């Protein structure tokens, strides 16, 4: 058994994980970072690179206003302490990431330049861009990891956290290239393994690596998750060809002031889309589809032509080309040149983009389990029921840094566990290779992903959720009987099997929370409870594992 020891173990090497690892190393701790993909990938590297920095006093923006925007956007489900932490550290986080090597968009004098048009829901402009989009963040993250004195385990998937007497003492993972398990004994463990967008594959624009490992790992270690029902759907995604299903093609703002949504019969479904939230637009699209208004491709038609035909049409086209470039490239590829020139309507369907729910922590990223921390999309409570555009990149650096700092400080007060604590978990990994059951992990993954889209998608009700709950239980049973080839090196099936276990836990946590929230709030829309419940205090849905099953409990939000 290969065993390593470290003060701080960081799981995940997107923006949150890298920030945590570098900060922990700066704090004098020994650090190991484990990443399923190469270092510095994850959703961070495919993002648009637009990040909220601190409020600009020159335009009258304040920290209070930023906090208010986020909580209004999140429909009150946010943990106010976390939101305040994000806003107060936003500039520090910006400076930290530039110190890693990044360069955000600048004006002619070389000063940080905020975008003219803030993303939806922001009352003032605080977003800055990355001229090299997410890819440039990838270069920065990899450089920062290379520069810091941290030990790197690339393409290693963490399968379980190790728990002794209720405290996390490290983790076990599989090195995919060699097929060898590895155990890491750690005094502090940080989860920064991202969200769960690909729990809805192919209806997602997220990396396939983010399937809910963060949540599965945390639940199984005894941690609590909050508001897992809050899954963000970007309203506009591509419907065809199949290879492009789920690709993102826009925010509500992309519709412009005059864009219209039409159904297959050419009837108007929605106009004045621009000021609406992602959740509101996604909901209306799904309701119309349920009424039978979908095109043969399965979406609705987003028609931007009225923007061009109106006065100042060229201005709109110019702006679209400037701001919407990455989206237009996707449109061109899927729907052709005319569509990319806005002369033909686009077939659109919501696509999963982000999970607002996540591991419950305090503002220093401590979970309820001793020695376990969480940051980035893994963490919950920051965004409430709806994330405003550009705030996640702030979140990952602010809380990554905080998690690294706390984990390093507190590691000094703890001791290592003994290696035998890892024996069972390592054995479970070894047993995957050549497993002789009858179910292929990838088939079960696909069945679960289909189920999540069909029954736990942008529109849910008690019947669909209860059916999902039963079917998840069924897949769980099948998952005890896996068939996996015995090949050691780069065995995709072993990887799938580990992901499947995390996916099942995450899916169940989403379903039980969605069942318990008998109202429509934020991104969670119940067709059997279409209104927001303003008669009662606002509550978070808190999930933990009890006897292997998710148990949910509503807790009033404290201001």
Residue that has been written with the tokens 């605080």 in this structure: 126
Cis peptide preceding 529, ω within 30 of 0:
no
**Contact flag: residue 110 with another protein (CB under 8 A):** yes
246 binds, among ligand FAD, another protein, none (CB under 5 to 8 A by kind): another protein
Q: Which of 13, 85, 254, 545 binds ligand FAD (CB under 6 A)?
A: 13
Distance CA 373, CA 443 (A): 33
Question: What b/e readout covers 156-172, taking b as 16+ CB neighbours within 10 angstroms?
Answer: bbbbbbbbeeebbbbbb
The residue among 299 and 522 lying less far from another protein, judged by its C-beta, is 299
> Which residues in the 141-170 window bind ligand FAD by CB under 6 A?
157-158
Smallest gap from Cβ 70 to another protein, in A, equals 22
Each residue 29-68 as x (binds ligand FAD by CB under 6 A) or -, in order, gives -----xxxx---xxxx-xxxxxx-----------------
Distance CA 218, CA 509 (A): 12
Each residue 290-329 as x (binds another protein by CB under 8 A) or -, in order, gives ----------------------------------------
| 456: Cβ contacts below 8 Å, ≥ 6 apart | 231, 464, 465, 468, 507, 510, 511, 514
Distance CA 525, CA 230 (A): 9
The residue among 91 and 317 lying less far from another protein, judged by its C-beta, is 91
Specify the pairing of strand 231-238 against strand 346-355.
antiparallel
Stretch touching another protein by CB under 8 A, among 80-88, 99-107, 116-124, 387-395: 99-107
Task: Catalogue the E-assigned strands of 176-279.
Answer: 180-191, 225-226, 231-238, 248-250, 260-262, 268-270
Q: At what angle do helices 441-455 and 492-516 cross, to 10 degrees?
A: 20
Decide: 484 and 199 in contact? Cβ < 8 Å. no
The residue among 128 and 355 lying less far from another protein, judged by its C-beta, is 128
Smallest gap from Cβ 347 to ligand FAD, in A, equals 19
| 348: Cβ contacts below 8 Å, ≥ 6 apart | 235, 236, 237, 238, 239, 249, 250, 261, 285, 299, 300, 301, 302
**Contact flag: residue 14 with ligand FAD (CB under 6 A):** yes
409 binds, among another protein, ligand FAD, none (CB under 5 to 8 A by kind): none
The residue among 243 and 343 lying less far from another protein, judged by its C-beta, is 243
Smallest gap from Cβ 5 to another protein, in A, equals 21
Stretch touching ligand FAD by CB under 6 A, among 6-14, 271-279, 284-292, 334-342: 6-14
**Contact flag: residue 69 with ligand FAD (CB under 6 A):** no
Stretch touching ligand FAD by CB under 6 A, among 7-15, 93-101, 441-449, 539-547: 7-15
* Cα 54 to Cα 76, 92, 338, distances in angstroms: 22, 9, 39
**Contact flag: residue 192 with ligand FAD (CB under 6 A):** yes
Compute the C-alpha angle 339/199/364, nearest 5°.
110
487 binds, among ligand FAD, another protein, none (CB under 5 to 8 A by kind): another protein
Stretch touching another protein by CB under 8 A, among 88-96, 222-230, 357-365, 374-382: 88-96
Question: What b/e readout covers 511-527, taking b as 16+ CB neighbours within 10 angstroms?
Answer: bbbbbbbebbbbbbbbb
The residue among 33 and 308 lying less far from ligand FAD, judged by its C-beta, is 33
Decide: 320 and 257 in contact? Cβ < 8 Å. no
The residue among 91 and 462 lying less far from another protein, judged by its C-beta, is 91
- DSSP letter string, 444-470: HHHHHHHHHHHHSSSSB-HHHHHHHHH
The residue among 485 and 518 lying less far from another protein, judged by its C-beta, is 485
Smallest gap from Cβ 213 to ligand FAD, in A, equals 3
Alpha helix stretches (DSSP H) within 185-254:
213-220
In the structure encoding, which two tokens stand for residue 10, read together?
């960081």
Task: Tell me the CB-side half-sphere exposure of residue 225, using CA atoms within 13 A.
Answer: 39
Distance CA 522, CA 100 (A): 35
Task: Tell me the CB-side half-sphere exposure of residue 217, using CA atoms within 13 A.
Answer: 35
The residue among 19 and 369 lying less far from ligand FAD, judged by its C-beta, is 19
Smallest gap from Cβ 306 to ligand FAD, in A, equals 27
Q: For 92-95, which contacts have Cβ atoms below 8 Å and span 24 or more sequence positions?
A: 92/398, 92/401, 93/19, 93/394, 93/397, 93/398, 93/401, 94/51, 94/53, 94/54, 94/128, 94/397
CA 325 to chain centre: 23
Each residue 320-359 as x (binds ligand FAD by CB under 6 A) or -, in order, gives ---------------------------------xx-----
The residue among 46 and 510 lying less far from another protein, judged by its C-beta, is 46
The edge-to-edge listing of strands for the beta sheet with 300-303 is 248-250, 231-238, 346-355, 300-303, 260-262, 268-270
The residue among 239 and 390 lying less far from ligand FAD, judged by its C-beta, is 390
Each residue 365-404 as x (binds ligand FAD by CB under 6 A) or -, in order, gives -----------xxx-----------xxxx--x--------
376 binds, among another protein, ligand FAD, none (CB under 5 to 8 A by kind): ligand FAD
> Which residues in the 217-256 window bind another protein by CB under 8 A?
240-244, 246-247
**Contact flag: residue 205 with ligand FAD (CB under 6 A):** yes
Distance CA 385, CA 395 (A): 15
Smallest gap from Cβ 318 to ligand FAD, in A, equals 21
Residues that bind ligand FAD (CB under 6 A): 11-17, 34-37, 41-44, 46-51, 157-158, 192-194, 205-206, 209-210, 213, 248, 353-354, 376-378, 390-393, 396
- In the complex, the residues that contact another protein under the rule CB under 8 A are 37-39, 41, 45-46, 91-92, 94-96, 98-99, 101, 103-104, 106, 109-112, 131-132, 134-136, 138-139, 142-147, 152, 154-155, 177, 202, 205, 207-209, 240-244, 246-247, 330, 333, 440, 442-443, 446, 485, 487-493
């Amino acid at each position: 058994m290969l065993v390593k020891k470290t003060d701080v173990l960081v799981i995940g090497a997107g923006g949150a994980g890298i920030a945590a690892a570098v900060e922990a190393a700066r704090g004098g701790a020994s650090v190991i970072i484990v990443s399923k993909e190469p270092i510095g990938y994850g959703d961070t590297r495919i993002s648009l690179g637009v990040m909220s920095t601190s409020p600009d006093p020159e335009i009258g923006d304040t920290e209070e206003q930023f906090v208010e925007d986020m909580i209004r956007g999140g429909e009150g489900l946010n943990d106010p302490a976390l939101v305040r932490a994000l806003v107060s550290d936003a500039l520090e986080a910006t400076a930290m990431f530039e110190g890693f090597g990044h360069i955000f968009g600048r004006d002619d004098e070389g000063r940080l330049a905020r975008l003219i048009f803030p993303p939806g829901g922001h009352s003032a402009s605080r977003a800055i861009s990355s001229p090299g989009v997410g890819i440039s963040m990838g270069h920065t993250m990899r450089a920062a990891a290379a520069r810091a004195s941290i030990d790197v385990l690339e393409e290693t998937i963490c399968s379980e956290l190790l728990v002794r007497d209720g405290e996390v003492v490290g983790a076990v993972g599989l090195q995919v290239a060699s097929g060898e398990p590895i155990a890491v004994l750690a005094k502090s463990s940080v989860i920064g393994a991202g969200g769960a967008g690909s729990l809805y594959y192919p209806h997602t624009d997220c990396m396939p690596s983010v399937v809910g490992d963060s949540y599965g790992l945390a639940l199984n270690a005894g941690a609590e998750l909050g508001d897992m029902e809050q899954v963000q759907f970007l309203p506009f995604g591509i419907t065809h060809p199949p290879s492009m299903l789920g690709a993102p093609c826009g925010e509500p703002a992309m519709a412009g002031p005059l864009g219209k949504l039409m159904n297959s019969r050419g009837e108007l479904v929605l106009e004045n889309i621009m000021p609406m939230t992602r959740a509101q637009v996604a909901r209306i699209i799904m309701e119309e589809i349920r009424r039978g208004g979908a095109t043969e491709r399965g979406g609705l038609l987003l028609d931007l032509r009225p923007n061009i035909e109106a006065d100042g049409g060229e201005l709109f086209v110019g702006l679209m080309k400037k701001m919407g470039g990455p989206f237009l490239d996707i449109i061109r590829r899927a729907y052709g040149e005319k569509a990319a020139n806005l002369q033909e309507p686009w077939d659109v369907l919501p696509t999963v983009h982000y999970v607002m729910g996540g591991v419950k922590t305090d503002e220093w990223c401590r979970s309820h389990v001793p020695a376990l921390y969480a940051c980035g999309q893994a963490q919950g409570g920051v965004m409430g029921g709806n994330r405003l555009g550009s705030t996640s990149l702030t979140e990952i650096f602010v809380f990554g840094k905080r998690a690294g700092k706390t984990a390093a400080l507190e590691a000094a007060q703890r001791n290592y566990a003994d290696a035998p604590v890892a024996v069972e978990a390592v054995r479970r990994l070894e047993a995957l290779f050549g497993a002789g059951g009858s179910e292929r992990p990838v088939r079960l993954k696909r069945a679960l992903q289909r189920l999540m889209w069909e029954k736990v998608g942008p529109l849910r009700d008690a019947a669909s959720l209860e059916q999902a709950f039963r079917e998840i239980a069924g897949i769980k049973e099948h998952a005890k009987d896996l068939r996996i080839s015995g090949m050691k090196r780069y065995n995709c099936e072993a990887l799938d099997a580990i992901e499947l276990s995390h996916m099942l836990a995450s899916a169940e946590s989403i379903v039980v929370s969605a069942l318990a929230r008998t109202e429509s709030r934020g991104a969670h829309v119940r067709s059997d409870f279409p209104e927001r419940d303003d008669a009662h205090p606002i509550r978070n849905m808190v999930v933990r594992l009890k006897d292997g099953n998710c148990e949910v409990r509503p807790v009033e939000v404290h201001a």
